[in-house]
Copies of this chain bind each other. A is one copy, B any other.
């Protein structure tokens, strides 16, 4: 057993058990990986993969158990490298943030700017994805931390910490009937609604609220992206229900915003990362910066 064989197994999973592609990714010829896999299976004494003819089709029961350990080894290997470069120079490095459009555009800019002043040599990559994908990104080590509102609480492999709480709000063109008088479930449901796609930015809280009230929204357009929603609101297609912090006081003056905290319960945005993953110092500081920014929102 050696680390290259472990790495091979890891990559085989990522390439849908395609030996040729795995070989390519490892910068060696295909025959080499074929032999290494044989050697490893021989060492263990039984096959890790189901085969149809010569092609690998699936993991054997043994294979899937082994893969869990492979992941652990890979994680520890990455941690060693991260820890070491942390000691060498924790002022440079890279952060991959997996998050949704709303967070990237309306929450992250300020803490990121402050963080960059302190750590100018750290590269920051923002990976935009749906909340479900965010968690996959963490597991695939394509992201270090995820910032989002939905889903992250279920996964036992994740550490999550609360970042900030927020409410939804309705946006509409000036002069719209809903600009006046109290907003109720009944009034909202009588207009066409534009809001987030399922699984995005507190959409689940919206659903729950209206379901419990016994009413139902007429969602005629759902988008992952607040800006898309606003665009269609400006086209007079209906009422937008968006995260309150996504209303921009400068650029959205043509839209009227109305609080919905009495109708839709608060949403909580969390920071999540893999439990077993060693986060470099600068990444820990970045999280601290996020929490600081979150505090200032409350105040």
Contact B45 A61 (CB under 8 A): no
Q: How many copies does the complex hold?
A: 2
User: Interface with B: A72-80, A129-137, A146-154, A158-166, which one?
Assistant: A72-80
Which bracket fits the contact residues of A?
20 to 34
Q: Find chain B residues with CB under 8 A from A297 CB.
A: none
Say which residue of B3, B76, B84 sits within 8 Å of A44 (CB atoms).
Answer: B84
Interface assignment of A66: CB less than 8 Å from any CB of chain B? yes
Interface assignment of A176: CB less than 8 Å from any CB of chain B? no
Is chain A's interface secondary structure helix, strand, loop, or mixed overall? helix
Interface assignment of A69: CB less than 8 Å from any CB of chain B? yes
What 0/1 readout, one digit per residue, does chain A (81-96) give for beta carbons within 8 Å of chain B? 1011101100000000
A3, A4, A76, most chain B CB atoms within 10 A? A76
Q: Find chain B residues with CB under 8 A from A81 CB.
A: 1, 44
Contact A84 B66 (CB under 8 A): yes
- CA A61 to CA B224, docked complex, whole Å: 45
Say which residue of B65, B69, B70, B80 sits within 8 Å of A1 (CB atoms).
Answer: B80
10 A-B pairs within 8 Å (CB atoms) are namely: A2-B4, A45-B87, A62-B83, A62-B84, A66-B80, A69-B76, A69-B77, A69-B278, A73-B73, A73-B77
